[in-house]
Each structure stands twice: as C-alpha cells, then as structure tokens.
Structure 1
Amino acid sequence: MSLIIRPEAPADIPAVFHVNQRAFGRDNEARLVNKLRDENAIVLSLVAQVDETIVGHILFSPVTIRDGETEWQALGLGPMAILPEFQKQGIGSKLIRAALAELKALGHDVVIVLGHAEYYPRFGFQPAQPFGIRWEIDVPAEVFRLAELTPGALRGRRGIARYHPAFADV
C-alpha cells in the first residue's frame, strides 16, 4: 500500500464528498465540507491517497473564541473521514500528524476538536474545560478537546468557542 498525504486539489472534490459520505454513513458532513469550501472557510484540507484512490480526508476551519469583549482565533479539526475499508490501518493518525505539523509550520497555535475521548489524546489533545474554554453548545467535557501547537499559547486565554455557521446544519 502506497500512501500519500497531500493538499486537496480541485479534482479531488467528488472523491472527498464520497469519502465523507461513506465514512459517516450520511451526507451531512460531506455537504458541510462543500459549504465550507464554497464560503472560503477552509484553512487546511488534506487527503490521504492510496495508489490512485482518495481514501481519507481531514479539514480545518476557523473557530472564534470569545470571552466577553475579547475575541481570538483557533482552528477546528473536522470533519475527518476515512473510507470504512481503510479504517484501523493508521491512515487517520498519519493525516492528523501531517496536518498538525503543517498548521504549526504555518504559525497556528491552537486546534480544537469535538471527537472521541480515547482517540485524540495520542495527538496531544486535552480536555478544553480545564483551560477555561467550552463549546457554545453543551457537550460532555471529555469529547471537547484542544491541542496547543505552540506551548503556552493558551496562557491567559479562555472563552466560548464558536465554529463557522455552516456547522449548525450538521
């Protein structure tokens, strides 16, 4: 298996839709990706390619965190999708690691994710609540996580995280 992780290209759009649709078993996340793309709200979108087939996708979009009158920006990871027949082979881990390294190189310092509490800690994601950051919607604390790409980036920062409005439809 020859795996390549690379930026999404315009020709990949149908395959990215297909991967998200298959991975989630519905088209909500696939439509979300298209809407974020249409609204130029994607900071980073990578695909995992095996031979000539797109088998995985990861996307990052802006997240606004507000504490009263103070506002700052982070990035949200998601959706991330792997075709079912390629899951549990380490492709998702490779996508996340490659994406976080790229985001750090681009100067981003905080990434937020709403996801599996058992999966994301291996990539440095910790519960957001102890940092004084919560999502605008009540969710279990163990699934709302963040990672500091720059040590100390969260010092003195707190607030309520708000994803791009396109996420309201998911």
Structure 2
Amino acid sequence: MSIRCEASPDYSKIAEVITSAFGQPNEAKLVEAIRNSENYIPELSLVAEIDGNIVAHLLFSYIHIISNEILPVLALAPVAVLPQFQNQGIGTALVQYGLDRADELGEALIIVLGHPSFYSRFGFVQSTYYGIKSPFEVRAEAFMVKPLKNYEIKYTGEVIYPQLFNDV
C-alpha cells in the first residue's frame, strides 16, 4: 500500500470510494465542495493505493474555533475505505499518516466527529477536556480533538463549521 496526496485525475475515483464506503453520495459532495473552497488543503487530502488503485481517502480541511479570536483548526472528515478493504489497517495507516503530515505542516489542533474507540487510538480525546464545544448536539465522547505540537491553550471556545458542511 502507498499513501499520497490526491491529484485532480483522482477525483472521480475518490468520489466512488467515498460513496461506496458511506453508501450515499453526501460525503463525496462535501469533499467536492471543500475542494472548491478556501478551506481546502491540497497537502492534506490523501489517498491510499493498492496496486495503483485508490482504495481509501482522507481529508483535512479548515474550520474555526471562536473565542476571543477566530482560530483556524483542522477538521478530519471524511475518512473512507472501500468496504472490501475495511478492517485491514488501511484506514488506520491513512489516519496516522495524515496526523503526522498535519503536525509536520505546523497545524495546531484537529477536530473529528467519530467513533471514540477508533479515534482514541490516535490520541483523540473528548473536546470538552480542552474547553472546546461542539456546534451541534452530539454525544460528548464522539466530538473529539487531538492537539499537535503547535497547540496552545488559546484554542478553546465553540467550533464553527463552514456553511458548506450544512449544504450537503
């Protein structure tokens, strides 16, 4: 397996992977909307390949925390692995690669809404431990954060997702 940044020729295959993984096109539409926004980070939109075929995709994009100032942080969403390749460590490898890459790029904090049993393996913890509030009603343990090397205490407040997250 190899992991690399996505390229424009990959877009249709990535959409197929995401739609297959989620059983609906909403998340693929979200990825397309993010690509066409100022929140897109090309270096943090990653694919996993096996024998030259894309089998998984992961996207980090910018969202914000509102407190005394507006602070950019990363959202990890979505993470998609083709169903026939799930439970083989591909998603785990892709997430770890992405976290390491985000740290290398000097990002401070990552936010994810997901399964605590999966994301806690990577050091994600409930956001309220850091004084960070979800913008919507979810189980507290499912809204998680992971501070990176550049994290500072000033990253507290309420998370604000761009409107494009609501549009799909």
Q: Partner residue of 1:55?
A: 55
User: Which stretch of structure 1 is more off in the superposition, 45-54 or 33-42?
Assistant: 33-42
- TM (normalized to structure 1)? 0.93
The residue type equivalent to 2:131 in the other structure is G
Q: Partner residue of 2:149?
A: 150
Whether 1:24 and 2:26 are equivalent positions in the alignment is no
Whether 1:96 and 2:111 are equivalent positions in the alignment is no
After superposition, what is the alpha-carbon deviation per residue over 1:20-41, rounded to whole angstroms, capped at 9, x for unaligned?
A: 0000000000011011112242
- Cα distance in 2 for partners of 1:169, 1:87 equals 28
Q: Are the equivalent residues in 1 in contact too, given 2:39–2:63 (CA < 8 A)?
A: no
What RMSD in Å do the two structures reach over aligned CA positions?
Answer: 1.2
- Cα distance in 1 for partners of 2:37, 2:155 equals 28
Q: Partner residue of 2:32?
A: 34
After superposition, what is the alpha-carbon deviation per residue over 1:77-115, rounded to whole angstroms, capped at 9, x for unaligned?
A: 000100000000000010011111111111001000000
Q: Partner residue of 1:46?
A: 46
- Cα distance in 2 for partners of 1:169, 1:23 equals 20
- Cα distance in 2 for partners of 1:83, 1:156 equals 38
Alignment of structure 1 residues 1-170 onto 2, 5 Å = 3-43=1-41, 44-67=44-67, 69-150=68-149, 153-170=151-168
1:169 Cα shift? 2.6
- Cα distance in 1 for partners of 2:93, 2:28 equals 21
After superposition, what is the alpha-carbon deviation per residue over 1:20-73, rounded to whole angstroms, capped at 9, x for unaligned?
A: 000000000001101111224222100000102100000011111002x42211
- TM (normalized to structure 2)? 0.94
The residue type equivalent to 1:46 in the other structure is L
1:156 Cα shift? 3.8
Q: Are the equivalent residues in 1 in contact too, given 2:17–2:82 (CA < 8 A)?
A: yes
Distance 1:66 1:60, change over 3 A: same
Stretches of structure 1 lacking an aligned partner (at least 5 in a row): none
- Cα distance in 2 for partners of 1:157, 1:77 equals 17
Secondary structure of the structure 2 residue equivalent to 1:59: strand
Instruction: Return structure 1 stretches of 4+ with deviation > 3 angstroms.
Output: none
Identity of aligned residues (%): 40
